[in-house]
């Protein structure tokens, strides 16, 4: 069963044709009442590093047009899952890369992300008196740039390179409607 757990990503840097960000902030109950922790992504990272899985970068979880990039690195720290992605050298990949750089540099709008995954192990836990689903292990399938993420804890840190003249949300909506 494929589950889309919308979480926003904390962008650490965009250099050249790549972007680095936090894919998931640990210990945060999202609007789907899901929570991830340090062990959640271990299986994905093992499979990814072994070359057994690839992870796409998409727009709004849509598979109806070309992906905008690919995840090339993953690691875990105390805050969450860190991913590095490269943008594809196709028209939409180049466009989204330029827009993401501008949006961050001008602070005109946030760049928000969501993850699509298959749950491998889960358990019910209580957090602040509320029953939530702990995602104990998953297999990450894709990461999407979205307008409405569930996890609002991650924030943009840094994006490098100057690009001017595009509106991220307007371009994403236009691309999704084509």
pLDDT tens digits along 27-48? 989 889 999 999 999 999 999 9
- Average pLDDT (142-161) is 60
Identify the residue with better confidence: 164 or 178: 178
Within 10 angstroms of residue 77's Cβ, the number of other Cβ atoms is 10
Residue 116 · residue 143 · CB < 8 Å: yes
Region of residue 128 (phi > 0: left; psi between -120 and 50: alpha; otherwise: beta): left
Q: CA 93, 151, 81, 11 torsion: positive or negative?
A: positive
At 157, the pLDDT band (50, 70, 90 cuts) reads very low
For 120, the enclosing helix (H) or strand (E) is: strand 112-127
Asked if residue 83 has pLDDT above 90, the reply is no
């Amino acid at each position: 069963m494929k589950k889309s757990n919308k979480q926003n990503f904390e962008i650490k840097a965009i250099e050249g044709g790549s972007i680095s960000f936090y894919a998931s902030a640990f210990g945060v109950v999202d609007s789907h009442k899901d929570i991830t922790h340090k062990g959640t992504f271990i299986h994905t990272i093992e499979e990814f590093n072994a070359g057994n899985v690839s992870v796409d970068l998409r727009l709004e979880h849509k598979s109806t047009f070309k992906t905008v990039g690919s995840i090339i690195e993953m690691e875990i720290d105390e805050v969450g899952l860190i991913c590095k992605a490269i943008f594809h050298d196709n028209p939409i990949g180049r466009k989204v890369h330029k827009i993401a750089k501008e949006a961050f540099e001008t602070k005109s709008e946030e760049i928000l992300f969501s993850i699509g995954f298959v749950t491998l192990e889960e358990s019910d836990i209580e957090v602040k008196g509320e029953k939530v689903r702990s995602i104990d292990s998953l297999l990450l399938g894709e990461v999407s740039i979205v307008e409405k993420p569930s996890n609002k804890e991650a924030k943009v840190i840094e994006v490098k390179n100057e690009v001017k003249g595009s509106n991220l949300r307007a371009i994403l909506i236009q691309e999704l409607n084509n």
